[in-house]
Structure 1
Amino acid sequence: HLVNKGGFVNRLYDMNTHQELEDLPTTWGGYDKLPLEAKYHLQNGNPIVAMSGKFHKSWGEFGGFKNADAIKYEAAAMISYGASCNFGDQLHPSGAMDVETYRNIGKAYEYVEKIEKYGLGGMPLSKLGMWLTLNDKADHGVVNILLETHNDFIVASEKNLDQLELLIIPSQQCLTDNQSQKINDWVKRGGKLIVFGEGAMDQSGKQFALDMGVDYLGTSAFNFDFTVVKPELGKDVVSTPFLNYEPALLTKPTTATALAAIREPYFNRTWEKYSGHRATPYKLEDSAYPAVVKNGNVIFFAHKLDQMYYSSAVRLHRQMVSNAIDMLYQSPNLKVKNLQSCGRVSFLKQEKENRYVAHLLYAPALQRGDVQVIEDFVPISGVEIEVNVPEKVKHVYQIPDGKKLSFSKSGNVLKIKVPTFTMHTGIVMEY
């Protein structure tokens, strides 16, 4: 697991013949844990097996049954992200196998048999890369935003920068001097960059390591603050100040242009000063400090919006980041329209089979008690995708039913209307 930081710093996984990615998403961190781990290991050339269980809450839960539909969704997601499937049971001391357990799991594997050849052996493909910091809140805050806005991604490093159009760095200081220099040089060659908070700092924590057109002034004296967005970044974002549960880094623009301003509260809420409920009201004028700046192809967010989104899921924060992505990211391999935020996408290239596959998933996970439950499969209509690949695509069809699909083409971009699907489908493009 990526949360086992020591194992990744020391690359203990290099001793494995394959990687088994264990997760019980009902209670172990949810259904969005797999994508990042699958992408990381596939990009490192490791076959992966996604391991889950038949249990509702925990391993070895005799008599515990995860809903069959939830197991089916998990299996479809595993294949969609390029992983083999493994669902665990625990044998009763009597030695008797539970027939109902295997009936439940069997429903999932009936579906796996129809789609697995369109996932196994596939490699994630995207021109958007996320830098891995091993700060779980920061990394998965970015991941959640990308998954929910359907911006498919790969894991970035100094080795694959030239494959990317856009790089996103979460809000954990992690860059070495050498890595920072390579990123700065890549931006000068035309690369595009979004950075959150301390992710831009050098190892001393006293200055920025990345060229963003701002000077670092320090940290805020306030426990929280507010953002006032300017029109350039304001699509579907309120124009009045909105709350940030943690304060921003304070900066002074040199060559950068502000896209949003920080609005400070009148004071911190303390025993000495008090103003009802949770947050002190904001002042009536903006501070001198920007909340977001743009400097050429670089956008810097002064707040830990990724970590705040992971903890508090403020849609305004997600929308502002999505707007920044749209400002910079002009030629994604896969663009998805009209899919709700609970939908998930995965774009794979299967080079040996001469095809691309765009996997689409939809099954909202609902928090009930201390468990995330999946049980409602609803038909999803009106989804459209645009695919930008260099090869000449000859055939397009839908899985699992094999229905041939028509498409239009402009340059290298294919436009495809996705037929109504339930839970999962894949759009296969053969070249």
Structure 2
Amino acid sequence: MRFRQVHLDFHTSEAIPHIGRQFSKQQFQAMLQKGSVDSITVFSKCHHGWAYHPSEANEIHPELDFDLLGAMIEAAHEIGVKTPVYISAGLDEKLTRRHPEWLIRDINDNTNWVDGFMKPGYHQFCFNTPYLEILVNQVEEVVRNYDADGIFLDIVGVRQCYCHSCVQTLRNEGQDPRNKEAVLALGERTYTNYSTRIREAIDRIKPGLPVFHNGGHIRRGRRDLAQMNSHLELESLPTGGWGYDHFPLSARYAQGLGMDFLGMTGKFHTTWGEFGGYKHPNALRYETALSIANGACCSIGDQLHPEGLMDPATYELIGAAYREVEQKEAWCSGTKNIADVALLSCEAAVSQKEEKRGDRTGTSDAGAVRMLLEGKILFDVVDLESDFSQYKVVVLPDQITVNPILQTKLNDFFAKGGKVLATGRSGLNEAGDAFAIDLGAAWEQENPYKPDYFRPHFELSSLQNAAFIFYSEGQQVRLTNGTLLGHRENPYFNRDVFTFCSHQHTPSAQQDNGPGMIESSNGIYFAWNVFADYADKGSLALKECVLYALNRLLPDKTLNTNLPAQGIVTLMEQPAEQRFVNHLLYATPVKRGSGVEVIEDLIPIYDTQVTLKLDKPIRRVYLAPQMEDLPFDASNGTIRYTLPKLECHQMVVLES
């Protein structure tokens, strides 16, 4: 898998003339070289539905008079650049006017992405219609006629559809289309049939050609869906709706699946389809560094101008990031992540059969990852199939109720010395009326007061002792065999029309209303949804209480550092090279406009201290790619070094 990829969109209306008129092999090649690009996803078919090459399975764009796809592949291959080919699968706007009966419909007969035909935008096709045959033929034509290095199919996934075909299918099977479970089950079967048909069609022509089905997010816990791909592409444009929390969460899950994967960001200031929008070069430097620091290759989204001319400003912008990536690749291939903690994803563990577009992180998962990153805890994101035994602590965030299978798995983990950090409803049985695992507490009821207060029985690192407001749902529990680490204080009353106090909420009545944080032989339990609360409110007290708990559960952490909160650290091992690579990153996203996070200034950080506890002796420590030796101390398996200066991203290599 190539490290320095570009994903080249070309969604071009039939109302625009002179398509590809300025395309030049020399200019195309020059821009790829300017951007240090080694793979570019080029296009066969766009969301408007047009082909950009002569076609019998489709129709060539009415304003294009040559084989643009073939010209791009020839130009790229001539300079050693790979060319996966893009086909819009779920969208084909020219065909929607001819066959609106093949479109996905909701229960009210509205279409999606836009809900009718009197608004600008695209409409999505259902694969349980004759449209699937058309799409398969289009894929076969590209694979047969062009030297593609892979196929990228866009806008696909498990859908809930009430089109006439889906309703009739269910009725023919004796099922009720008003039953949501039956509709979702048909959506699962439809997607499986689609991906199987595509794989079979390709393999009849070019067996094993890489294929990726893009739905904008890799769903944690759906290994079956992930394995329908040959590799994974984690679409995660921080300014385009994904945010800066999404990629670390997604990557820390994807690497555990054992599949090659890349991180896909964009050159845009906002998101796809933006012409004339540019990120600051420092943002792309940081985002590509974040990819390789998490074991991923890189992809940057661009969109070609209708006349076919590659934009020099874009490829200078991309090149500023990719020239750095090129120098670092030798230390970023064949890696595995070192982690002390496993975060059991709510998305993976809580039943979520329906895919919700736009909900790519989930508040509990996002809050947990943000705390782990800020606390410099080495972690993986796992699902119910993962092996817990390789971790010291498993985090059960907020909503992880425990069925008998998970109960057995956790009890085996405890028997081998593992610990959990459980919060909120996590640890309760599926009925939600008792703990399924021993956390030193007995459940009584959901706390009727909200918000309420937590008074820790320990000092926070940045704040004096107080009763701290917790906004999220809390559980009322009693102590059984654990140690109390803090108690709850309820307010005088809940805020109501007849009982309210001040501007927001009622103060604490300063009474001990039972346990809020309990330590037992199996770990620590927190009686609130602290991770969702942190994702929503970002309270310092929440984070410092959780990090106190994690540090208490991890007396022998693999990594300690004084890198500030916004810094990110990962530790990768390259077994084939007999070395570890410690990645350190630092940047501060700020909000501009309405909710857009941008990175502009990269502030240097000086004298970052790192302590590592490794199971192998270390003979050399150096900076990569600079190849400068770094002084270090080693004793009893502990390695200590100080990084003199960190600007954006630095790799520290430890050779054993």
Same fold (TM over 0.5): yes
Residue from 355, 379, 389 that aligns with 2:604: 379
Q: Within the alignment, does 1:292 sit opposite 2:517 as a pair?
A: yes
Answer with 153-162 or 303-312: which moved more: 153-162
Per-residue deviation at 1:282?
1.0
1:70 maps to what in 2? 283
Report the counterpart of residue 169 of structure 1 in structure 2. Answer: 396
1:298-336 CA distance string (max 9 Å, x none): 100000000000110001110011111111102222222
CA gap of 1:174–1:373, structure 2 versus 1, over 3 A, is same
The residue type paired with residue 283 of structure 2 is: A
Q: Map residues 92-171 of structure 1 onto 2, 5 A cutoff.
A: 92-134=305-347, 136-156=362-382, 157=384, 159-171=386-398
* 2:589–2:597 contact (8 Å) kept in structure 1: yes
C-alpha contact (below 8 Å) 1:158/1:179 kept by paired residues: no
* 2:428 equivalent among 190, 201, 206: 201
Amino acid at match of 1:353: E
Shift of residue 222, structure 1, vs aligned partner:
1.4
CA distances 1:212-270 after superposition (whole Å, capped 9, x unpaired) = 11111011111210011112x64434312111112420001111121111000011111
Q: Secondary structure at the match of 2:450?
A: coil
Seen in structure 2, the aligned counterparts of structure 1 residues 3 and 54 have a Cα distance that, compared at 3 Å, is: closer
8 Å contact kept, 1:409–1:415: yes
Give the alignment's TM-score, normalised by structure 2.
0.63
Corresponding residue number in structure 2 for 1:312: 537
- Secondary structure, counterpart of 2:570 in structure 1: strand
2:303 is matched with which residue: 90, 96, 102? 90
Q: After alignment, is 40-49 or 112-121 more displaced?
A: 112-121
Q: 2:613 — aligned with what? A: 388
By how many angstroms is 1:23 displaced?
A: 1.2
In the alignment, the residues of structure 2 paired with residue 40 and residue 221 of structure 1 have an alpha-carbon distance, to the nearest angstrom, of: 35
Equivalent of 1:32 in 233, 245, 256: 245
The answer on whether the counterparts of 2:338 and 2:571 sit within 8 Å (CA) in structure 1 is yes
After superposing the two structures, state which structure 1 stretch, 116-125 or 316-325, moved more. 116-125
Residue identity opposite 2:616 in structure 1: E
Counterpart amino acid of residue 272 in structure 2: W
Give distance in 1, aligned partners of 2:252 and 2:542. Answer: 25
Q: Give the residue type in structure 2 aligned to 1:271.
A: V
Structure 2 residue aligned with 1:188: 415
Aligned residues: 428
- d(CA) in 2 for partners of 1:420, 1:52: 27
Higher Rg of the two aligned structures: 2
Secondary structure in 2 matching 1:73: helix
The aligned amino acid for 1:293 is I
Structure number with the higher strand fraction is: 1
Question: 2: distance between equivalents of 1:100 and 1:252?
Answer: 63
What residue in structure 1 maps to residue 579 of structure 2? 355
Q: Deviations over 1:88-117 (max 9, x none)?
A: 111111111111110111111111111122
Residues 35-54 of structure 1: pairs in structure 2 closer than 5 A: 35-54=248-267
Which AA in structure 1 matches 2:426? G
Contact kept, 8 Å, 2:472 with 2:532, in 1: the verdict is no
How much does 1:159 deviate?
Answer: 4.2
Shift of 1:286: 1.7
Paired with 2:557 and 2:607, the residues of 1 have a C-alpha distance of: 20
Q: Which residue in the other structure is 2:228 paired with?
A: 15
What percent identity do the matched residue pairs reach? 32
Matches within 5 A, 1:235-250: 235-250=461-476
Q: Is the 8 A contact 1:346 1:358 kept in 2?
A: yes
Match of 1:402 in 2: 627
Q: Is the 8 A contact 1:27 1:372 kept in 2?
A: no
Distance 1:398 1:274 in 2: 59
1:368 aligned partner, one-letter code? R
Q: Which residue of 2 aligns with 1:301?
A: 526
CA distance in 2: counterparts of 1:7 and 1:295, whole angstroms: 29
TM superposition shift of 1:425: 0.3
Is the counterpart of residue 267 in structure 1 residue 493 in structure 2? yes
Paired residues of 1:173 and 1:200 also in contact (CA < 8 A): yes
Distance 1:159 1:99 in 2: 45
Instruction: Output the CA distance in 2 between the equivalents of 1:5 and 1:197.
Output: 26
2: CA distance, partners of 1:144 / 1:236: 18
The superposition leaves residues 320-363 of structure 1 with CA deviations (integer Å, 9 ceiling, x where unpaired) of 11111111102222222x21101011111111111110100001
Q: What do you get for the CA RMSD once the two structures are aligned?
A: 1.8
Q: Give the whole-Å Cα distance in 2 for the aligned partners of 1:295 and 1:331.
A: 18
**Aligned partners of 2:220 and 2:345 also within 8 Å:** no
Q: Which moved more, 1:119-128 or 1:172-181?
A: 172-181
| 1:39 to partner: Cα distance | 2.0
SS at structure 1 position matched to 2:288: helix
CA distance in 2 between partners of 1:421 and 1:368 (Å): 25
How many Å apart are 1:11 and its aligned residue?
Answer: 2.3
- Whether 1:251 aligns to 2:477 is yes
Query: 1:344: which partner in 2?
Result: 568
Contact 1:141 1:306 in 2 (8 A): yes
TM-score, normalization by structure 1: 0.95
Letter in 2 for 1:274: F
Query: Who is 2:64 aligned against?
Result: none
Against the structure 1 CA distance between its residues 236 and 187, is the aligned structure 2 distance closer, same or farther, given a 3 Å change threshold? farther
Report the Cα distance in structure 2 between the residues aligned to 1:210 and 1:101, rounded to whole angstroms.
Answer: 54
Cα separation, partners in 2 of 1:412 and 1:342, compared to 1, 3 Å: same
AA aligned to 2:237 is L
In 2, the alpha carbon distance for the partners of 1:214 and 1:306 equals 20
Q: Secondary structure at the match of 1:239?
A: coil
SS in 1 for 2:308: coil
- Flag the 1:215–1:42 CA change in 2: closer, same or farther, 3 A: same
Helix, strand or coil: the match of 1:32?
helix
CA distance in 1, matches of 2:434, 2:422: 14
Q: Deviations over 1:15-48 (max 9, x none)?
A: 1110000011023232221122112121111100
